[in-house]
């Protein structure tokens, strides 16, 4: 570990080396120990560039003995002392040990100083970190404030921009003419006005917001008025179809500017002015065409043919106008339909007098069928195409249909009054059952002709069914039900009156069967018309009677008389179908009762006479009567099931009459037949 020469160094050199080592160590300590200055403020300390400690360079002079220079010195000054001590090994070892101890102490001292410096640096670092964090937070706060102020400044600038734009807008509008609307600057101005109005409407708390809002609204009104003037001037062009189609692509964007702002009531009037200008320009071309076409077909005498020709032409014209209108505008259906109604005034003026003066109910019904089937759309079709813009032509001619329906109702009531209620039958009309024979003969000649179905019907019956079949689904359902009840009621009473006349001209049996036959037919026919509505009948009921007049002069009875003597309005439901069923039951019951009485009249007559009763003769007479009744039933009633029911009812009544006669015979102590079933079973065979 140690060199040989170290044990033989002279003592003076060792002391000299030790002294030099101490000096060097002290110098190095002064060089490498950092000076900590006291900080008078809380600012971070200023940094100093400290030289890195180099242990080898620092401690090398003390850990080794420089033999060159001292050797020369000792050799020159006192070489004899050095020679004496160099041969002492203990002294050399001691010197080396002392040097090592001193070196270790210096290392420990340097380490402590380094640790102290590190602790100082650590505390300084913590202080710097805290101050840096505080500085960062302060910077972030300042940045946030700066950003907020910047945004506030921008917002103020934007909002001031809205207020500052009022004066330039007013100046533009003061110097503008109708050609200004074609520029891009005008479109941008409209957008700016929309934004300004929207902003002011949502920020009413701003100072003078109402003032600025009213002025911006005036500017918008003036701008849209310029558009209206531009559209009015542009629409006043050649009235042919092709120029208008081309112009629609140019003018539609301007019309949309007004339509998009129609939430304000004032702008709706501007849009309607545009509609009026359009209608005025188109009317110059359309109205003469319609009038000329009507004048060319005014000689057509047939009402239905004239209506078909005129309405077909007008519908084509209006369909084209409908499509052309919506090439200019997106809204305005109601205004367009109002204009169409005005265009159809010549059509109304020609159709209404013809309809009113038409007396033929059949022609009026054909007119209603034409209007309903060819010109009025089905409601279901309109519902399925609700999102499409389709001309509802039926709405335009609904007044024509209403005129026709009103005339149909009026003529129906007149026909009921004249041809049913006041019908005066002739003898050929009451020639039953001869008219039924005529019907059967026609049926045999032509089995496929359905016109023979009405042959043999009583005229009022035929007229009633004809009227119902004509007006069915042509008028309102409630009106039809009301008319159907009236027709059924009047027809029923007409048949009853005819049955009374037939009884006078022919026989009671023919009268009864005539009434049953026609009432069954009427019941069958009206069942096909779905009569549901029942007309209420209003009556006035006076509740006082003769006995109450006695209380008039009594003090206590005056109030009672006054309260009970007030007439009351009483509503009762008039159902002609129930009346028909009731009359049919009465006719059937009367027929079966009369025929059973006729069959049993001989039995009752013989029972009242003296002597024995000839059962065979009376039975034969009853069966002869039954055969006659059966023949009559076959003449009047074509349904075998109905005939069987009527025959069964007669048999039942005959059996009841026989039982009554048998009881009376026993009371008179007379000999009578034991079994009456043979008579009832043999009837109608």
**Per-residue model confidence (pLDDT) at position 506:** 87
Token couple for 499? 């049955």
pLDDT tens profile 112-168: 999 999 999 999 999 999 999 999 999 999 999 999 999 999 888 888 888 888 999
Which has the higher per-residue pLDDT, 604 or 292?
292
Q: For CA atoms 609, 613, 617, 618, give the dihedral sign.
A: positive
**Per-residue model confidence (pLDDT) at position 46:** 54
> If you average pLDDT over residues 184-209, what whole number do you get?
90
Q: What is the DSSP letter of 475?
A: S
Which has the higher per-residue pLDDT, 319 or 532?
319
> CA of 559: how far to CAs of 393, 542, 550, in Å?
63, 16, 13
Q: Maximum distance among all alpha carbons in the chain? A: 215
- Alpha carbons 295 and 311: distance in angstroms, whole number: 14
- Model confidence at 237, pLDDT cuts 50, 70, 90, reads low
- Model confidence at 626, pLDDT cuts 50, 70, 90, reads confident
Bond preceding residue 433 cis, omega within 30 of 0: yes
Helix, coil or strand: residue 631 = helix
pLDDT tens profile 390-412: 888 988 999 999 999 999 999 99
Assess contact for 481 and 533: CB atoms under 8 A: yes
**Residue of 415, 320, 309, 413 lying closest to 370 (CA atoms):** 309
Buried b / exposed e across 628-641, counting CB within 10 Å, b at 16+? ebbebbebbbbeee
- Model confidence at 598, pLDDT cuts 50, 70, 90, reads confident
Write the DSSP assignment of 642-681 as a string of letters.
HHHHHHHHHHHHHHHHHHHHHHHHHHTT----S--HHHHH
Q: Is the pLDDT of residue 475 over 60?
A: yes
| pTM for the whole structure | 0.68
**Per-residue model confidence (pLDDT) at position 380:** 55
**Per-residue model confidence (pLDDT) at position 382:** 55
Q: Is the pLDDT of residue 553 over 50?
A: no
Assess contact for 572 and 481: CB atoms under 8 A: no
- Model confidence at 573, pLDDT cuts 50, 70, 90, reads very low
> CA of 82: how far to CAs of 67, 194, 304, 430, in Å?
12, 113, 161, 187
Phi, psi torsion values for 261, nearest 5 degrees: -115, 25
Q: Is the pLDDT of residue 103 over 60?
A: yes
Q: Is the pLDDT of residue 107 over 90?
A: yes
Domain ranges (residues) in the chain = 4-36+51-139, 423-534, 537-574, 581-682
Write the DSSP assignment of 374-425 as a string of letters.
IIS--HHHHHHTTTS----HHHHTHHHHHHHHHHHHHHHHHHIIIIIIT---
Q: Is the pLDDT of residue 325 over 80?
A: yes
Q: Average the pLDDT over each of 236-250, 583-597, 651-665 and give the range with the smallest value.
A: 236-250
At which residue do the structure tokens 């010109």 appear?
375
Buried b / exposed e across 147-176, counting CB within 10 Å, b at 16+? eeeeeeeeeeeeeeebbebbeebeebbeeb
**Per-residue model confidence (pLDDT) at position 234:** 86
Assess contact for 193 and 169: CB atoms under 8 A: yes
pLDDT tens profile 494-506: 999 999 999 998 8
Helix, coil or strand: residue 541 = strand
Q: Is the pLDDT of residue 599 over 90?
A: no
* 574, containing H or E segment: strand 568-574
Token couple for 447? 């089995």
> If you average pLDDT over residues 538-564, what whole number do you get?
47
What is the overall mean pLDDT for the chain?
78
Q: How many Å from the N-terminal Cα to the C-terminal Cα in the chain? A: 166
């Amino acid at each position: 570990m140690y060199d040989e020469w170290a044990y033989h160094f002279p003592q003076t050199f060792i002391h000299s080396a030790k002294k030099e080592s101490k000096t060097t160590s002290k110098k190095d300590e002064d060089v490498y120990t950092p000076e900590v200055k006291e900080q008078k403020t809380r600012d971070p300390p200023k940094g100093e560039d400290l030289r890195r400690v180099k242990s080898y360079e620092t401690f090398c002079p003390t850990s080794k003995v420089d033999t060159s220079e001292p050797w020369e010195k000792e050799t020159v000054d006192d070489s004899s002392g050095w020679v004496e001590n160099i041969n002492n090994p203990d002294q050399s070892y001691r010197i080396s040990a002392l040097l090592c101890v001193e070196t270790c102490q210096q290392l420990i001292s340097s380490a402590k100083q380094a640790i102290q410096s590190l602790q100082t640096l650590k505390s300084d670092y913590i202080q710097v970190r805290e101050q840096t964090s505080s500085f960062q937070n302060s910077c972030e706060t300042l940045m946030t404030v700066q950003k907020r102020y910047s945004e506030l400044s921008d917002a103020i600038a934007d909002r001031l921009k809205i207020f500052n734009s009022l004066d330039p807008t007013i100046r533009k509008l003061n110097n503008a003419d109708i050609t200004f609307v074609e520029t891009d600057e005008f479109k941008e101005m409209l957008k700016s006005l929309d934004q300004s109005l929207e902003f002011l409407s949502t920020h009413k708390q701003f100072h003078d917001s109402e003032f600025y809002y009213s002025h911006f609204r005036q500017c918008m009104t003036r701008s849209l008025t310029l558009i209206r003037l531009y559209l009015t001037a542009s629409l006043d062009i050649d009235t042919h179809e092709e120029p208008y189609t081309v112009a629609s692509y140019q003018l539609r964007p301007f019309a949309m500017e007004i339509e998009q702002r129609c939430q304000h009531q004032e702008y709706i009037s501007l849009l309607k002015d545009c509609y009026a200008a359009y209608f005025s320009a188109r009317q110059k071309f359309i109205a003469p065409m319609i009038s000329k076409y009507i004048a060319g077909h005014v000689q057509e005498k047939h009402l239905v043919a004239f209506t078909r020709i005129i309405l077909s032409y007008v519908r084509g014209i209006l369909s084209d106008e409908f499509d052309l209108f919506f090439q200019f505008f997106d809204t305005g259906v109601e205004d367009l339909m109002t204009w169409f109604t005005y265009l159809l005034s010549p059509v109304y003026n020609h159709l209404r007098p013809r309809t009113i003066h038409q007396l033929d109910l059949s022609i009026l019904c054909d007119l209603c069928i034409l209007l309903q089937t060819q010109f009025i759309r089905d409601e279901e079709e309109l519902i399925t195409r609700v999102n499409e813009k389709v001309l509802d032509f039926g709405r335009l001619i609904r007044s024509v249909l209403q005129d026709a329906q009103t005339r149909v109702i009026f003529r129906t009531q007149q026909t009921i009054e004249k041809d049913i209620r006041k019908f005066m039958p002739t003898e050929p009309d009451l020639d039953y059952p001869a008219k039924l024979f005529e019907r059967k003969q026609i049926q045999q000649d032509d089995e496929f002709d359905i016109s023979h179905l009405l042959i043999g019907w009583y005229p009022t019956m035929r007229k009633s069914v004809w009227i119902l079949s004509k007006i069915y689904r042509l008028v309102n359902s409630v009106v039809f039900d009301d008319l159907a009840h009236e027709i059924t009621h009047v027809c029923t009473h007409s048949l009853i009156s005819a049955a009374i006349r037939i009884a006078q001209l022919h026989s009671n049996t023919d009268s009864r069967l005539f009434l049953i036959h026609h009432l069954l037919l009427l019941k069958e026919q009206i069942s096909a018309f779905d009569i549901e509505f029942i007309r209420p009948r209003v009556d006035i009921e006076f509740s006082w009677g003769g006995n109450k007049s006695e209380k008039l002069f009594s003090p206590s009875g005056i109030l009672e008389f006054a309260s009970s003597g007030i007439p009351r309005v009483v509503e009762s439901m008039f159902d002609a179908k129930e009346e028909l069923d009731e009359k049919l039951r009465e006719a059937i019951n009367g027929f079966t009762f009369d025929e059973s009485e006729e069959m049993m009249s001989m039995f009752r007559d013989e029972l009242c006479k003296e002597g024995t009763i000839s059962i065979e003769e009376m039975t034969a007479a009853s069966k002869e009567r039954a055969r006659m009744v059966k023949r009559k039933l076959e003449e009047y009633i074509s349904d075998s099931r109905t005939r069987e029911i009527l025959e069964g009812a007669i048999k039942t009544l005959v059996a009841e009459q026989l039982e009554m006669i048998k009881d009376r015979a026993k009371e008179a102590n007379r000999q009578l037949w034991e079994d009456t079933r043979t008579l009832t079973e043999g009837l109608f065979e």
